[in-house]
């Protein structure tokens, strides 16, 4: 592991604060940098609203909320509430560490009337955080996050880590991207390990319906195919690609993905067609074999420490007068005290 650059004084003033479900990743990150690991309490009120309480001291600290954004809709308000609470309580900076960044694929209006959710989501996140750090966001029509996000962003790449895993575990690999968009990942992986690569052609007919066509790959027969992609979402892109390879005489593929979302039973359906499936731990999943803590920890340690103070209006912590008047014994409740 690359040692994290621990600048003097930095570890003590940084708090790594996981949202529910992100505790393991956050613990690895905190260990990596020698940073404090925080905790919060969250629950649902009987009416379905969200309760958030930060249990760690955040005052004057750079607070990194760790929250992968796979299946984001359920926990999104909780994340925004936690960011606001950290700021209210005097955090010096409130950053989002999202190893997987959602809402990157609806990046234009494909049909009249559609919401361009990548822009709306970016606006909402940018209004609550000072900085965003993520790994391999799905950049296709946008070349970078900066046209979408109005705060500083760090985009990290897992391709070198996946490449190193492949180099160590797979003999004579042929790196294959299931569609044109995956070219950026497969070419980076192939270049790092000196392996050949190819890209398949995909036509998407719907959320779960894709058609994948193979070019003639016969000159590489005898190599171990490794399907590499950024996201396994419905899983059908990889499933269709894995189905096609034996038709050209290849053995069952190894699959390497950055973000293992794997909706429904797609992991089991893909596993039946593959030799092995590996992923990074950007989304907690049984296929996780490649850890990102070192990559992310190094990026946190080398980010400018005071930029948040320059770009965001700081609002002083406010007195919570009404809560003080009613007393804490009757709060929180699902209805406001009378
Ligand atoms: C698309 O361009 C991406 O790189 C992935 O191939 C895609 O998101 C995978 O989606 P699914 O698993 O739903 O086929």
In sequence order, which residues have a C-beta less than 8 Å from that of residue 89 and are 6 or more positions away?
Answer: 54, 58, 59, 317
pLDDT at res. 140: 83
Q: Quick one: which atom of ligand 1 is closest to the CA of 236?
A: 14
- Kind plus residue range of the DSSP H or E element containing 169: helix 159-169
Half-sphere exposure of residue 247, counting CA atoms within 13 Å on the CB side? 10
Residues 259, 265, 267, CA angle at the centre, nearest 5°? 40
Average pLDDT along the chain: 89
Catalytic residue among 59, 202, 213, 324: 202
**Sorting pLDDT into bands at 50, 70 and 90, what band is 141?**
confident
In the reported structure, the alpha carbon of residue 233 is separated from the centroid of ligand 1 by a whole-number distance in angstroms of 6
Contact of 265 with 256, CB cutoff 8 Å: no
The answer for 320, left when phi > 0, alpha when psi is -120 to 50, beta otherwise, is beta
215-238 average pLDDT score? 96
pLDDT at res. 117: 95
136 CB under 6 A from ligand 1? no
* Token pair belonging to 272: 């039946």
Contact of 141 with 106, CB cutoff 8 Å: no
Choose the residue to mutate in 237, 241, 262, 270 for probing ligand 1, maximizing ligand atoms within 8 Å of C-beta.
237
Give, using CA atoms, the residue closest to atom 10 of ligand 1. Answer: 233
233 CB under 6 A from ligand 1? yes
**Sorting pLDDT into bands at 50, 70 and 90, what band is 142?**
confident
Least confident of 82-91, 125-134, 311-320: 311-320
Residue tagged 């505790």 (tokens)? 23
In the reported structure, the alpha carbon of residue 229 is separated from the centroid of ligand 1 by a whole-number distance in angstroms of 8
The pTM assigned to this predicted structure is 0.90
pLDDT at res. 312: 55
Choose the residue to mutate in 105, 233, 269 for probing ligand 1, maximizing ligand atoms within 8 Å of C-beta.
233
In the reported structure, the alpha carbon of residue 58 is separated from the centroid of ligand 1 by a whole-number distance in angstroms of 38
Give, using CA atoms, the residue closest to atom 2 of ligand 1. Answer: 181
Q: Say if residue 11's pLDDT is above 80.
A: no
pLDDT at res. 210: 93
Question: CA-to-CA distance for 86 and 177, rounded, in angstroms?
Answer: 41
11 vs 51, which has greater pLDDT?
51
Contact of 143 with 196, CB cutoff 8 Å: no
In the reported structure, the alpha carbon of residue 231 is separated from the centroid of ligand 1 by a whole-number distance in angstroms of 5
Based on the residue annotation, tell me whether 202 is a catalytic residue of this protein. Answer: yes
61-78 average pLDDT score? 97
Give, using CA atoms, the residue closest to atom 7 of ligand 1. Answer: 231
Backbone angles phi, psi at 200, to 5 degrees: -90, 175
Q: Say if residue 5's pLDDT is above 50.
A: no
Residues 239, 243, 288, CA angle at the centre, nearest 5°? 40
In the reported structure, the alpha carbon of residue 252 is separated from the centroid of ligand 1 by a whole-number distance in angstroms of 20
Residue tagged 């361009």 (tokens)? 116
Contact of 72 with 22, CB cutoff 8 Å: no
230 CB under 6 A from ligand 1? yes
Q: Say if residue 1's pLDDT is above 50.
A: no
* Token pair belonging to 180: 């044109």
* Percent of residues, the chain, with pLDDT higher than 90: 81
């Amino acid at each position: 592991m690359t040692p994290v650059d621990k600048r003097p004084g930095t570890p003590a003033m940084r708090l790594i604060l996981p949202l529910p479900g992100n505790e393991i990743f956050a613990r690895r990150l905190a260990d990596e940098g020698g940073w404090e690991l925080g905790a919060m309490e969250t629950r649902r009120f009987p009416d379905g609203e969200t309760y958030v309480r930060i249990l760690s001291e955040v005052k004057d600290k750079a607070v990194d909320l760790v929250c992968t954004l796979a299946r984001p809709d359920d926990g999104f308000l909780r994340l925004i509430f936690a960011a606001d609470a950290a700021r209210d309580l005097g955090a010096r900076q409130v950053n989002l560490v999202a190893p997987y960044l959602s809402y990157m694929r609806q990046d234009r209006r494909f049909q009249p009337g559609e919401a361009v959710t990548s822009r709306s989501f970016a606006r909402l996140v940018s209004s609550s955080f000072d900085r965003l750090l993520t790994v391999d966001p799905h950049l296709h029509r946008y070349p970078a996050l900066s046209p979408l996000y109005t705060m500083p962003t760090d985009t990290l790449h897992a391709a070198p880590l996946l490449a190193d895993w492949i180099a160590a575990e797979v003999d004579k690999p042929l790196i294959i991207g299931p569609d044109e968009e995956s070219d950026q990942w497969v070419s980076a992986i192939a270049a790092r390990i000196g392996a050949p690569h190819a890209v398949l052609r995909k036509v998407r007919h719907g959320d779960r319906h894709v058609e994948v066509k193979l070019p003639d790959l016969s000159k590489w027969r005898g190599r171990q195919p490794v399907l590499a992609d950024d996201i396994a979402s419905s899983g059908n892109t990889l499933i269709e690609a894995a189905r096609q390879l034996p038709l050209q005489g290849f053995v069952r593929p190894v699959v390497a993905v950055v973000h293992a979302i794997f909706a429904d039973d797609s992991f089991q359906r893909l596993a039946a067609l593959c030799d092995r499936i590996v992923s990074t731990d950007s989304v907690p999943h049984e296929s996780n074999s490649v850890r990102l803590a070192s990559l992310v920890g190094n990026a946190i340690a080398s980010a400018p420490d005071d930029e948040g103070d320059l770009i965001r209006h700081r609002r002083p912590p406010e007195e919570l007068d009404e809560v003080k008047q009613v007393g804490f014994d009757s709060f929180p409740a699902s209805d406001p005290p009378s």
